[in-house]
Amino acid sequence: MSLPAGMLLVDKPRDWTSHDVAAVLRKLFARGVKVGHTGTLDPLATGLLVVLVGPCTRLQARLQGFDKVYSGTIRLGVKTDTGDVTGKVQAVFPVPPLSLADLTRALAALEGEVSAPAPAYSAVKHRGKALYAYARAGIPVPVKPRTCVIRSWKALAWESPELTHRLSCGSGTYVRSLAEVLGEKLGCVGAVSSLRREKVGPFDIAQALSLDAARALSPQAVRRVLSASLSVLDHALKETPAR
């Protein structure tokens, strides 16, 4: 009997790690079947997690290169150790009087290539170890700025200190870092207060199953979902040549 292979699109709930979601879905399959995902979402974040199964886990590196689309909120005037509102507050600044038009211009000015350090609490490696491991141990490490690409960044609503926005960006972008960059540009600081991933390349959150629905799939339904995903994956890969 052939190994299961394919893709599951799952809507990650808040307060779950991406690793935990993959671990739950792994229980749908026999022991030894590989299950992985194409890009971590922070516990605070919700939204699209592309989960690969069986031999399709070999495609992880290629699919990680897709652009992403996020929506969410940024709280201006607050800086935390994690870059989002779940972290320890490190600084509080007054938020200047701003209009939605001011914020629209500020976001548009950041479109293109932006240099920003990765968050201290992230999986970016330093000497073979994730930055979050150093942060949890209280060990400071130098973090080099990373270049990310902002395709489009729109201000949707503004009720001080909360900015609602929508961001289209290249792979490897940390929205928490961009929140801090934006805050500094506006003369204050900023932290992510909510985040939802809407798209990963051609894959859309509208196509995703809730985690509860995914974990409740029967073996027959799992096979149908995986089988149907193979042509979708093939089309996506044709649109993204190997590097």
List, for residues 185-198, the tens digit of each pLDDT value.
999 999 999 999 99
Predicted TM-score (pTM) of the model is 0.91
Within a domain: 30: yes
- Residue 35, SS3 per DSSP: strand
User: Do residue 214 and residue 174 come from a single domain?
Assistant: no
pLDDT computed for residue 158 by the predictor: 99
The CA-CA-CA angle for residues 93, 70, 235, to 5°, reads 160
User: Do residue 92 and residue 41 come from a single domain?
Assistant: no
Which long-range contacts link 239-242 to residues 24+ away (Cβ below 8 Å)?
Answer: 239/201, 239/202, 240/62, 240/63, 240/65, 240/66, 240/201, 242/62
User: Considering 42, 81, 204, 234, which one is annotated as catalytic?
Assistant: 42
User: Do residue 89 and residue 195 come from a single domain?
Assistant: yes
User: Do residue 129 and residue 188 come from a single domain?
Assistant: yes
pLDDT computed for residue 216 by the predictor: 96
pLDDT computed for residue 238 by the predictor: 83
How many structural domains is the chain composed of? 2
pLDDT computed for residue 2 by the predictor: 61
User: Do residue 19 and residue 59 come from a single domain?
Assistant: yes
Within a domain: 1: no
User: Do residue 210 and residue 195 come from a single domain?
Assistant: no
- pLDDT tens column, 34-43: 999 998 899 9
Q: Confirm whether 81 is a catalytic residue.
A: no
pLDDT computed for residue 178 by the predictor: 97
Low-confidence ranges of the chain (pLDDT < 70): 1-2, 122-123, 126, 131, 135, 240-243
- pLDDT tens column, 157-186: 999 999 999 999 999 899 999 999 999 999
User: Do residue 75 and residue 125 come from a single domain?
Assistant: yes
